[in-house]
Amino acid sequence: MKAGLESIKPNDSYSYLEFIAADELEGRDTATRGFTIARNYIKSLYKTWGIEPAGDKKDDARQFEQRIDMVEVAIGEETYIEVEAGPSALTFLWGTDFSGGMGVDMAGVIDAQAVFAGYGLTATDLNYDDFAGIDLENKIVVTSFGKPGGDREDSPFNAPENRARFAGRYTPAEKCARLAAAKGALALLIVDENVGHVSNAGGYRQGSRISSSRRTVVAPKLSDAIPRVPVFWASPAIADALFSQSGKTFEAVKNLIDKDLTPHSMDLPNAKVKLYLDVSRENTMSANLLGMVEGSDPKLKNEFVIIGAHLDHVGVNDDGYVFNGADDNGSGSVGVLQIAKALALNPVKPKRTILFAHWTGEEQGLVGSRYFVEYPTFPLSNIVACLNLDMICKDTPLSAIKEQIGDFDITEEELSSSYPNEPEKLFSAYTSSPSPIMEEYSVNLARDYFDLIAVPLSSYPVLGNSDHYPFAMRKIPSVFFNTEGHRDLHQPGDTIDKINKYKMAKLVKLTYLMAFTIADTEKRPEWK
């Protein structure tokens, strides 16, 4: 293991990242030239290092690429919402008062009544259904972002066994969009107080900061790609206009739900919504990049450990800002390629094959990794573990981890008392359940050899926030290393000058050791 380990150097991490996070790659948006150049750069490196292709078969020969046919959906300037409520008519602009556009598959006008459906949640086991007793047929559904009761500790939505289910942004929205589609709705507006405020800089909130490009890309072959209604994130101003003739306010009704923890869904009579969609669709394609170093054991080489990272980011916006994505996820991409190089250099190979995956379309909803799990290039049952690197080069204040733990089985107090605030050492290790193998590798190894401190965060189901998720959902043992969110996340400021290359190289070495050990240990890892 040593020769490989010693080849992972902080200055190399930095040099590879200089190329991948360069302005000229234009933010590596899925199915763009910048993404393809980044992918081809890695392919060239792989070829010079003797990494074998692990993608599609063409005339019996493996390719590095796994091709994915996609459709690009672009939302144009003439997209806006008109609300007619009583005597007044208000116009709300795309990009200012609403954003998103997930699942849009039409152009034209949706002219409909609005109906308010609380948080858009159906949880039969909790006896809670925001859709009960209201008619969604041919209506635009308005919901609030979040969950009943917010962070209230006595809310069943925050019970440890339920937290992960209702956390996050996209998973609940997707679920709601599918439910709404099944009930005949036409569109979904999710009201988020962060939309419409330019100054707020929190987390993943869209519309709150400099917004990225207007294009979305979907892969029609993914089984859950359709059907769902188009989803938009809307400002409270839109909600206020919709409620203006109802005798109630959006805020007040939402407060009622939070207080009672029961649905207060209602029709919004006299509010007419016209949603003008200026949308174009075009066939395109992108590809995952897959390479491998074959295992040394004649039998076990048919089994695989995957080390993956998404290579795509969110591109360039209409104002010409480049979203370089040095941390997200140039850093993980460099990590994967440095491990590939280390394994190629190492004279001894582990027993199992190690597969290197550079996913496309993560920012578009884990498209590349979901596609791989549905159309694997090797039998999925032979994949023994998935190690995912996504954003691994930042210093991590304890407070950044605190912001994430709402969804896990650790309290802020436990976190503060168990871990020091040492940003240069801290990182998060997400798994689907607590496990000895995780402790051994990520916690003990990190501490003893690299002076790093892992905060193990486990939950089932694992949060769907990165490319380990599709694997974890197929019960493949998965772990996700991350140095946590920061102000530059999905902003033009995620640039190479702000990275910690020493911490990054340490995490890459840790992943290399972990992958090598798992691949070389006779027994398959058992995680839940």
What single string gives the DSSP state of each residue in 74-92? EE-TT-EEEEEETTEEEEE
Nearest-angstrom CA–CA distance, 526 and 528: 7
Q: How far is the CB of 170 from Zn ion (least distance, A)?
A: 13
3-class DSSP assignment, residue 297 = coil
Q: Which is nearer to Zn ion, 26 or 328 (CB)?
A: 328
Question: Coil, strand or helix: which one is 527?
Answer: coil
CB of 328 to Zn ion, least distance (A): 4
Contact 310, 390 (CB under 8 A): yes
Q: How far is CA 99 from CA 75, 95, 318, in A?
A: 10, 5, 14
Query: Least distance to Zn ion from the beta carbon of 431, Å?
Result: 18
What 8-state DSSP symbol labels residue 459?
A: -
Q: Examine residue 312 and tell whether it contacts Zn ion (CB under 5 A).
A: no
Site string for Zn ion, 339-378 (x = CB under 5 A): ----------------------------------------
Least Å distance, CB 325 to Zn ion, is 8
User: Is residue 390 a contact point for Zn ion (CB under 5 A)?
Assistant: yes
Specify the stretch interacting with Zn ion by CB under 5 A; choose among 24-32, 328-336, 485-493, 516-524.
328-336
Least Å from the CB of residue 83 to Zn ion = 35
Amino acid identity, position 258: D
Q: Which of 171, 329, 404, 442 binds Zn ion (CB under 5 A)?
A: 329
CB of 480 to Zn ion, least distance (A): 10
Stretch that binds Zn ion, among 2-10, 145-153, 324-332, 395-403 (CB under 5 A): 324-332
- Looking up tokens 């027993």 gives 351
Q: Pick from 494, 488, 498: which is nearest to 27 by CA?
A: 494
**Count residues contacting Zn ion (CB under 5 A)?**
3
201, 209 in Cβ contact below 8 A?
yes
Q: Does 395 bind Zn ion (CB under 5 A)?
A: no
Cβ(364)–Cβ(370) below 8 Å? no
- Residue 91: which residues within 8 A CB-CB, separation 6 or more? 80, 81, 82
Binding letters toward Zn ion, positions 270-309, x by CB under 5 A: ----------------------------------------
Q: How far apart are CA 28 and CA 315, in angstroms?
A: 5
Q: Show contacts with Zn ion in window 37-66 (CB under 5 A).
A: none
Residue found by looking up tokens 């590596």 in the block: 28
Q: Rounded to the nearest whole angstrom, what is the least distance from the CB of residue 366 to Zn ion in the complex?
A: 10
Pick between residue 104 and residue 314 the one whose CB is nearest to Zn ion: 314
Stretch that binds Zn ion, among 326-334, 368-376, 392-400, 494-502 (CB under 5 A): 326-334
Separation of alpha carbons 386 and 253, rounded Å: 44
Under rule CB under 5 A, residue 30 binds Zn ion: no
Told to check if 328 binds Zn ion by CB under 5 A, we report yes
| Residues binding Zn ion (CB under 5 A) | 328-329, 390
